[in-house]
Structure 1
Amino acid sequence: MLSIYYKIWVDAITQERAKKGEDGKYWKAFTIIPISLIQGVNLLTLLFFLRFFTDIPILFTLDLTRDKAINGFIAGLLVFFIPFVLLNYLLIFYNNRYNKLMNLYPAKDSKLYRNYVLISLGIIVIPFVLKLIF
């Protein structure tokens, strides 16, 4: 299971390095942010499906400001984005581990990364579209 995770990362890194250049400044950020967002979407999808069977909340409430939108945004960041950025940094970028992974898992022309993004977004979009239709 973890090898698929690493293969997706290798594809994403290869794609971003090809766009930004090997020595580009921001290719790491342009790699870690989209994958962390997609992983947050996967968690959101899982929580939506679990909500059908249990009463777990999708977002916890914060009362930092008077504005509910800002509180919801901060709560969303704390649940759906920041944990994945930290996890991905520690698993992929800490001590330049991505170099070892790129040698261990060859890139597949970004097909695996593209399919991961499309499937992840499709799984959450399809139920909403079906709900609108029916």
Structure 2
Amino acid sequence: MRNFYYQIWIDGIVKMRSRPQNAGVWKYYMMAFTGMAMALNLLVFVSILRDQLQTDFYDLSIHTPLGEKVNGFLEFFIPYLLPCILLNYGLIFYKDRYKRLLGNYKTYDGKLWAIYFIASLSLPFVLLAIAWFLS
């Protein structure tokens, strides 16, 4: 499973670095897009687990005077997106580890990363459609 994780990352990195318009910002794009995909996967996993266990574990309620939109953002960012970003930074970008990984994994011109990203964004909607259809 770890190899698949690195395979997806290296495929995305090679594709992002190859585009001239991404020069200087490709790391941020990769962290943002892949982190968001992973956070959505984590959200779906936790939601399914919550439903099956009938419990509210991993629930975070934030109440700031800044408003509901800020609270909602923080309730997603802190438990879902931040752990994914920190994990990805530590495993991929810390001390430029991706440079050592580049030679170890085959690339597919960004197609593997794109499939992962699109599947991650589609998963919540597909599961909702299946749940609606079966109910």
Q: TM-score range by the shorter chain?
A: 0.7 to 0.9
Q: Report the CA distance between 1:132 and its aligned residue.
A: 5.4
Aligned match of 2:19? 19
**1:65 is the counterpart of 2:65:** yes
Q: Report the CA distance between 1:3 and its aligned residue.
A: 0.5
Amino acid at match of 2:79: V
Structure-2 separation of matches of 1:89 and 1:101 = 14
1:24-35 alignment, distance < 5 Å: 24-35=23-34
Q: Residue 106 of structure 2 aligns to a residue in which SS?
A: coil
Deviations 1:15-56 (A, max 9, x none): 11112368x211100111100000000001101211221212
Q: Residue 78 of structure 2 aligns to a residue in which SS?
A: helix
Structure-2 separation of matches of 1:93 and 1:58 = 27
Aligned match of 2:107? 107
Contact kept in structure 1, 2:58 and 2:79, CA below 8 Å: no
Please give the TM-score of this superposition, normalised by the length of structure 2. Answer: 0.87
Aligned match of 2:80? 80
Amino acid at match of 1:34: F
Structure-2 separation of matches of 1:60 and 1:107 = 38
Highest relative contact order (Cα 8 Å, sep 6+), 1 or 2?
A: 2
Please give the TM-score of this superposition, normalised by the length of structure 1. Answer: 0.87
Contact kept in structure 2, 1:20 and 1:26, CA below 8 Å: no
Amino acid at match of 1:84: C
Unpaired runs of at least 5, structure 1: none
Contact kept in structure 2, 1:63 and 1:71, CA below 8 Å: yes
Identity fraction in percent = 28
**1:45 is the counterpart of 2:44:** yes
Please identify, of 42-51 and 119-128, the stretch whose mean Cα deviation from structure 2 is larger: 119-128
Q: Residue 108 of structure 1 aligns to a residue in which SS?
A: coil
Structure-1 separation of matches of 2:51 and 2:118 = 24
Deviations 1:111-134 (A, max 9, x none): 211121122223211122345566
Matched residues, number: 133
